[in-house]
Structure 1
């Protein structure tokens, strides 16, 4: 990718990978410029989402970002709190996160996933005005879905290793497997942005 391609990708919106009735809707903070150029979520080479997802047991093998559509067959999907691409998440303001939280709530109401997994505790705290939230299951629901805050898989998040993140993601996977949805899933693919 050239610097020009990355610069041109700023503020671009990347379509979600979603369908109704998912087991888990993973929600990133916002797309990176690499994701915006490729159209594939968590595509930056330093992002650890795909290895963590596999090591935690959510996927049978490590998927590449270009294989993101395979998540739907596993009952998994991807969206973001804030839709627009930036070079770094710290370019986003609190108002933008709160607007994103409102839009995310409406999206979750429409798609009805069992769990909403927000991958970034600071984004979750800001978007949903939960300043004391910690990594793990949350007491609240969003749009009817149970909520789990997960560590941000960005390579910039040095507090978490692939191993420790995979352990936390596996806690969510175990909760998903032991607490089936109350209602049958809604069928039919949707690509929303």
Structure 2
């Protein structure tokens, strides 16, 4: 048992409001994020650097500054709310239920774009086994849908520059 095991199954609040340009949607909180109450909080997670390097934020934000995203037209949520040590601990049913919950959130707040951060979780949650990174042909409610690479430091397929480029492509599409 890790020292963060106490954070298992905890949830963290969404950073969301009306009028967002982009609602970023992670897979689920990790234990470190649940312990801190901040999205993408584990040191080594590249979400915050990718946001900055792609031009979404004027400087590199610390996860504790997540509320500063709202005035920039950005928000953060997750497909599955409960914290786990690894995303593969989530069941297919949890991810599909999370997709329905995300759809309701998008209907309520009407962001322009929903950007799911993690292709494998997106494929499972939305039953799109052949989806690729980038814009998707379907929408979530009225929002355009985009899939970005998982910013976890464990994702060796996308190094920081390539991750920032994927985020920049989304930003430039706005």
TM-score range for the pair, normalised by the shorter chain length? over 0.9
Q: CA deviation at 1:78?
A: 0.1
Unaligned runs of 5+ in 2: none
Residue 18 of structure 1 is matched in structure 2 by 16
Match of residue 34 from structure 1: 32
The total of aligned residue pairs comes to 174
Q: Deviations over 1:48-87 (max 9, x none)?
A: 0000110000000000000101000100000000000000
From 78, 86, 89, the counterpart of 2:87: 89
Q: Secondary structure at the match of 1:14?
A: coil
Structure 1 residue ranges, 4+ long, deviating more than 3 angstroms after superposition: none
What CA deviation, in whole Å up to 9, does each residue of 1:120-153 have, x standing for no partner? 0011111111111000000000021000000000
Higher relative contact order (CA 8 A, sep 6+): 1
The CA deviation string for residues 72-109 of structure 1, in whole angstroms up to 9 with x for no partner, is 01000000000000000010111110000011001100
Task: Supply the distance in 1 between the matched residues of 2:9 and 2:162 (Cα, whole angstroms).
Answer: 32
Please state how far the C-alpha of 1:156 moved relative to its aligned partner.
1.0
Match of 2:61 in 1: 63
Task: State how 1:101-140 maps to structure 2 within 5 Å.
Answer: 101-140=99-138
1:13 and 1:141 map into 2 onto residues whose CA distance is: 26
Normalising by structure 1, what TM-score? 0.89
Q: Return the TM-score normalized by structure 2.
A: 0.98
